Amino acid sequence: MTIANPTIITSDLAAELSRATGAHPGHDCYVLTDTTTVGACLPYLYECGLPAESRIITVRAGDEHKNIEAAVQIWEFLSSSGATRKSLFINLGGGMITDLGGFAASTFKRGIRYINIPTSLLGAVDAATGGKTGINLRGLKNEVGVFNPAESTLIDVHFFKSLDAENLRSGYAEMVKHALIDTPQEWKEVLAFDLEEVDFVRLGRLVERSVRIKERVVEQDPTEKNIRKALNLGHTFGHAFETFSHRVHRPALHGYAVMWGLLCELYLSHVQLGFPKEELLRLRYMLTENYGKFEFACGDYDDLYELMTHDKKNDAGFVNFTLLGGIGDIRINCSATKEQIFETLDFYLSI
């Protein structure tokens, strides 16, 4: 697989868009939006010089619509509009749009080039970079998809200024994860950022560093055979919390579930690998100050455990974790017993 061009973090989206569309002179341009971004973000793209004759495709917003029906809608639109292998496909939206649009573009006529313009912080620091594309199938997340990096990813912090505090925090959780797998210096910077009074210039610098951390990992292992699993830190517990939260009709944003998952997995790292307690306590402080806690009872442990054992990252019969021996000291393919997982849930409930 070819490695994606580096993600561009820009305060001049117009110049970058012109470069991207200029690289395809004379070829038609398609923009995938959803029912939110078509109104909230597309006008800014026109302000930045998106060609007026661009064709706009709009799918329903929400991860539940990241499915084969939406992919068919895109393929049919492209086909009936006469799109060719040289057409340019632009994904304008959060992770749902870059996953879905990346998949539709990667499979239409065996693959047309596409660029990502993420409009959420979560999408910018995670889904838009690294070449994972896909759709959900019968409730299974990202069950069908391909690895195929975007021709370029253009991140403009402008889009994040209109995000509500919860969505900003949700995206920031993935930046916390990136810092934990990187260096003590990065971890310190991420901890020091004020999520109450957001400085968007500083956020832009942190986003750039965060994306570079992900790119360095993906470059070593684009198809997640080994070190890319580092990016799953916090996600084994996190996905279980997220799915459970929907099941009990108290839906949590992805990044919130990741923060709760990070706390659990750093606790497990502390118990199994001696991850420093003071860093665990720092994360706990950040979590209680900014994210709050998802409440459940001991009676829910079996359900949560069941969700972890069904995660597709697991080989048969054991729950796979990425843990840390310290900040940046990544240990992939760790496991934990049911007792250790329950003890970790006890710890979580005790904070």
**Positions that interact with ligand GLY (CB under 6 A):** 126, 130, 132, 224, 228, 231
Give me the least distance between CB of 132 and ligand GLY, in Å please.
5
Cα distance between residue 104 and residue 133, in whole Å: 9
Give me the least distance between CB of 194 and ligand GLY, in Å please.
26
Cα distance between residue 268 and residue 98, in whole Å: 33
> Using an 8 Å Cβ cutoff, are 321 and 266 in contact?
no
| Position 201, amino acid | V
Cα distance between residue 284 and residue 132, in whole Å: 30
The residue count of the chain comes to 351
Nearer to ligand GLY, 28 or 99 (CB): 99
Cα distances from 241 to residues 126, 218, 282, in angstroms, run 19, 26, 21
Nearer to ligand GLY, 241 or 296 (CB): 241
Nearer to ligand GLY, 73 or 131 (CB): 131
Which residue is at the shortest CB distance from ligand GLY? 231
Which two structure tokens, joined as six digits, stand for 95? 């992770």
Nearer to ligand GLY, 132 or 239 (CB): 132
Nearer to ligand GLY, 88 or 97 (CB): 97
Give me the least distance between CB of 254 and ligand GLY, in Å please.
10
Q: What are the start-end ranges of the H helices in the chain?
A: 13-22, 37-40, 42-47, 68-80, 95-107, 121-122, 165-180, 184-192, 200-220, 235-247, 254-273, 277-290, 301-309, 338-350
Nearer to ligand GLY, 21 or 95 (CB): 95
> Using an 8 Å Cβ cutoff, are 264 and 334 in contact?
no
What three-state secondary structure class fits 136?
A: strand
Q: Which of 140, 56, 160 is nearest to 101 (CA)?
A: 56
Nearer to ligand GLY, 130 or 186 (CB): 130
